[in-house]
A and B are shown apart, each in its own frame.
Chain A
Amino acid sequence: MSVPMIRLDNVEKVYRTDRIETVALSGVNLDIEEGEFVSIMGPSGCGKSTLMHLMGLLDAPSKGTISLGGAAVTDASDKALARLRNESIGFVFQSFHLIPDLSVLDNVEIPLLYRKAGASERRKAAEAALERVGLSARKHHFPSQLSGGQQQRVAIARAIVGKPRVLLADEPTGNLDSQMGDEIMAILQDLNTREKTTLVMVTHDPRQAEKTARTIRMFDGRRVN
């Protein structure tokens, strides 16, 4: 195979607070190939979200290097990182992180705001993304007016609206009942097979993990397989 889409090389992440040091990740090596659908599993607190954040260029590793498409991003400028996040990566946060002051539609449009897209073009794309997660009827609501599962679907719509090559989803089905969870999984599988989107998903649900091509297991900040 050619260069991996995502490569982590001996990555370590240490959180330092006033007195305590938490080693969230240590010595993690990982390759994710283009077009793969990978799931990540492991007990709570083992570093799954931390790993996702690093792959999404949302946080900086304490040690080691991260490469996207063969190029190390460790020393990339703010502008370059912003552009990668905007053009190439879609992220679904475990705790959604919707902006409470903006409507559902405006929240979904956010990634497009930082592309030079026109207002009507943005609107159309956001409406299509909401349609895809089955939330068209709620587009003028505010996040506080939605259930947890609905907020999660908005977060997914926002992650896919820009048609990223890589989609990183941190427990995208965690707040959904099994039927809704299956629907979201179907959307993700569709993105992966039809649009060749590289997909990494954290899940606690072995049933969903089975639907992915490969499962990475984590324990206490380390890969165990």
Chain B
Amino acid sequence: MANAIAPRIPAQAGIQLKEKSMLINYLKLSLKILGRRKFFTFVSLFGIGFTLLVLTLAAAILDHIFSSYPPETRGDRTLVVDNVRMQGKDSMSTGPGGYALYDRYMRGIPGVERMSILSQPETVISYWKGARLKSLIKRTDADFFRILDFEFIEGGPFGEADVSEARFVAVINETTRAKFFGAGPALGQAIEADGQTFKVVGVVPDVPIFRLMATGDIYVPTTTAKSDEYKARLRGGFFALFLLRDKGAVESVQQEFKVRLGKIDLPPQFDRIYAVPETFFASFARLFIGDFQAEDAGGRLLAILLTAAALFMILPAVNLVNLNVSRALERASEIGVRRAFGASASDLLLQFLFENVVLSVVGGLLALVSSAALLALLNRSDLVPYAHFSLNWRIAAWGFAFALAFGVISGVWPAWRLSRLTPIQALAGGVK
């Protein structure tokens, strides 16, 4: 309809402003209102920011624990045996397997390219230039360095001959090199650990402690152990790594492993033995759920994590939606006033859109900055040895997108409903 009353100052005449400055108007307006409603603004920012913070932190930590990066680059076709249980009528024995279990019974499984037997990391003490140094030692074989993919900083791994001849050679990590030799190179130097002296043949980067198979400060041949007793044991002290020829062989290898377990001569007090070769993730998951006989530990942990994440996101989302909706309703009379003085429904839509976008963006930035700071703090602290957490941008972006969507929909939708009413209905509080 044309305006039958010619206005004195038509809205479209006067200074024709560019759309950009209209947007700046909306931005200023939303900052003004948010600044005036400090409590609501604070609660909203806290809700958005804290949710995103925890989400990005959790993502960074999980990513660091589970994603495939050196030395576990072949994680998709590597299986781990880290836990063995022997059971009888009156006795039970659970923990890492024994050297004999793997060495005597598990060599040459079809589909397995390489197998490595490695000891649990063990704390050893070194007396070095008057200082008492603590390190984690891992005794292993040559295939360990072929299954795991260490990027050697100095030298290289020890080989078959070193192991069979029981040579006192060692691969050490960067931190250990620094502890023993300061900044200088370590290759060819001697180090002392637990009363034994080893010649350093290689230096590797630090591996975080939760990469249980690969982590260690000093790696030496299994045969340098002080006694041969370990060679006869079925239970205790050792893990095994299996590198499969291709990842499709997982089930057949697990099947063959089970068959071979059945053929083991068990000590008289036991009649059954359990162990499953599984992926790094599944073995970690099993540790985490604490259920030794769980069929699909990896799947279960994943389900638990996803449920936790969903719950964690849903609760604050519902809260935020609630807060936003009630706030928009509370502002019914503001909407009525603006309508009475010429705001169209789309003007109001834009205003509320801006307010909610500003809130979400500021909340998201706060979360990003604080989670980056917290991760840096975690990395610098010794809480998780050798950990190097970094922000997962993809998760952060997804979290942000969700926060934005929830915030905007819950803030704008009720405002839009109210702006469809006549000004008087809105002024009366939104009742028709």
Contacts and interface: CB of A to CB of B under 8 A. Distances in A.
A15 to B, nearest CB: 10
Interface stretch (B97-105, B111-119, B271-279, B417-425): B417-425
Nearest to A166: B5
A78 B416 CA distance: 13
B8 A163 contact: yes
A82 B342 contact: yes
B9 A68 contact: no
A79 B347 CA distance: 10
Interface residues of B, number: 43
B340 A162 contact: no
A122 B162 CA distance: 86
B347 A71 contact: no
Nearest to A161: B341
B9 A82 contact: no
A110 B17 contact: no
A82 B333 contact: no
A34 B140 CA distance: 101
Contacts of A78: 344-345
Contact of A165 (B7, B16, B37): B7
Interface centre among A77, A87, A110 (most CB of B within 10 A): A87
B259 interface: no
B16 A116 contact: yes
A42 interface: no
Nearest to B419: A78
B91 interface: no
Interface in B314-352: 333-334, 336-347
B3 A83 contact: yes
Given A73-B1, A82-B347, A114-B343, A99 B337 contact: yes
A86 B5 contact: no
Contacts of A85: 339-342, 423
Interface residues of A, number: 48
A87 B11 contact: yes
Contact of A116 (B14, B337, B423): B14
A91 B37 CA distance: 27
B342 A114 contact: yes
A24 to B, nearest CB: 11
Interface in B3-51: 3-12, 14-17, 21-22, 25, 29, 32-33, 36-37
Contacts of B404: none
A71 B340 contact: no
A53 interface: yes
Contacts of B25: 113, 119
Nearest to A162: B9
A165 B339 CA distance: 18
Interface string A98-132: 11011000100011011111110100000000000
B14 A97 contact: no
A116 B22 contact: yes
A84 interface: yes
Contacts of B36: 101-102
A123 B177 CA distance: 70
Given A68-B4, A116-B12, A165-B8, A82 B339 contact: yes
A118 B341 contact: no
B5 A114 contact: no
B331 to A, nearest CB: 8
A5 B5 contact: yes
B426 to A, nearest CB: 10
A43 interface: no
Contact of A79 (B10, B344, B425): B344
A158 B206 CA distance: 70
A166 B422 CA distance: 20
A67 B424 CA distance: 19
Contacts of B37: 101
A73 B6 CA distance: 15
A80 B3 CA distance: 8
B15 A111 contact: no
A201 to B, nearest CB: 17
B427 interface: yes
The 7 closest A-B pairs by CB, nearest first: A86-B342, A69-B4, A87-B7, A71-B4, A82-B344, A59-B424, A115-B11
24 contacts: A56-B340, A58-B424, A59-B424, A69-B3, A71-B2, A79-B344, A87-B10, A87-B11, A88-B3, A91-B341, A93-B340, A97-B427, A101-B36, A106-B32, A113-B29, A114-B11, A114-B341, A115-B342, A116-B12, A116-B14, A118-B17, A121-B14, A165-B5, A166-B5
Interface of A: 5, 53, 56, 58-60, 67-71, 73, 76-80, 82-88, 91, 93, 97-99, 101-102, 106, 110-111, 113-119, 121, 158, 162-166
